[in-house]
A and B are shown apart, each in its own frame.
Chain A
Amino acid sequence: AQSVTQPDIHITVSEGASLELRCNYSYGATPYLFWYVQSPGQGLQLLLKYFSGDTLVQGIKGFEAEFKRSQSSFNLRKPSVHWSDAAEYFCAVGRNAGNNRKLIWGLGTSLAVNP
């Protein structure tokens, strides 16, 4: 079955520390991969996406993610976290199906940042 797993429900890091949020997927075809961020009480915003090509993708707000096919992973990273990065992060997997209704969402990782 197709699925997305974000193993870490909640992560706390100190401001300035590095960050890695994990995302593992199970998908029968070559996936499209996404990371979205949600600030408290807000909608979601796309951080980055991977369709093909270079497996290391750069996104907004200094985030990057690496697609590792052999590990079925698409982990999100940031070298130095800022207090404003505290939010909920969602990984999603899909494919070009003509629309986005087939996106599969992870349950999210809540990030807290200590000053």
Chain B
Amino acid sequence: SQTIHQWPATLVQPVGSPLSLECTVEGTSNPNLYWYRQAAGRGLQLLFYSVGIGQISSEVPQNLSASRPQDRQFILSSKKLLLSDSGFYLCACTPKGRGGTGELFFGEGSRLTVL
């Protein structure tokens, strides 16, 4: 079965600093990959999804970007963090062939605090 690794688990960054959150997937090839942000009381917000290497779709306009340099690697970045970027970031995947089933597999999350 698939396993998703995220790091760092916790990050405290000053406003205006860059960001890089990394996600890697084991146990499946060519998965669909997703970045979600979870803010308190606001549920899950889909930020980016990817169906393959170099293929990124953004769901909401924002200060963040995503890249997929390898099949099972998904990176969330920012050049200059804003206070509003604080939150809990979750990487998720769906194995190909089950992309329409809604069955997402999540990583442990990365908590970002911007001061």
Contacts and interface: CB of A to CB of B under 8 A. Distances in A.
Contacts of B59: 101
B44 A100 contact: no
Interface residues of B, number: 27
Interface string A91-108: 010111111110101111
B104 interface: yes
Given A41-B111, A44-B90, A107-B41, A101 B101 contact: no
Contact of A34 (B4, B32, B100, B102): B102
B26 interface: no
Given A43-B90, A44-B90, A90-B44, A103 B102 contact: yes
Interface string A60-104: 000000000000000000000000000000101011111111010
A41 B99 contact: no
B53 to A, nearest CB: 16
Nearest to A50: B102
A34 B111 CA distance: 25
Contact of A98 (B99, B105, B111): B99
Contacts of B104: 36, 44, 46, 100, 103
Contacts of B109: 41-43
A42 B103 contact: no
Interface size class of A (residues with CB under 8 A): 20 to 34
Given A100-B32, A105-B43, A107-B41, A94 B108 contact: no
In the A-B complex, the 8 residue pairs with the closest CB atoms: A43-B106, A96-B100, A107-B43, A99-B99, A44-B106, A105-B44, A94-B102, A105-B43
Given A43-B4, A92-B102, 8 more contacts: A34-B103, A44-B90, A44-B92, A49-B101, A94-B102, A96-B100, A98-B99, A105-B44
19 contacts: A41-B111, A43-B90, A45-B106, A51-B101, A90-B44, A96-B100, A96-B101, A98-B99, A99-B94, A99-B99, A100-B32, A100-B49, A100-B101, A101-B46, A101-B49, A103-B102, A105-B43, A107-B43, A108-B43
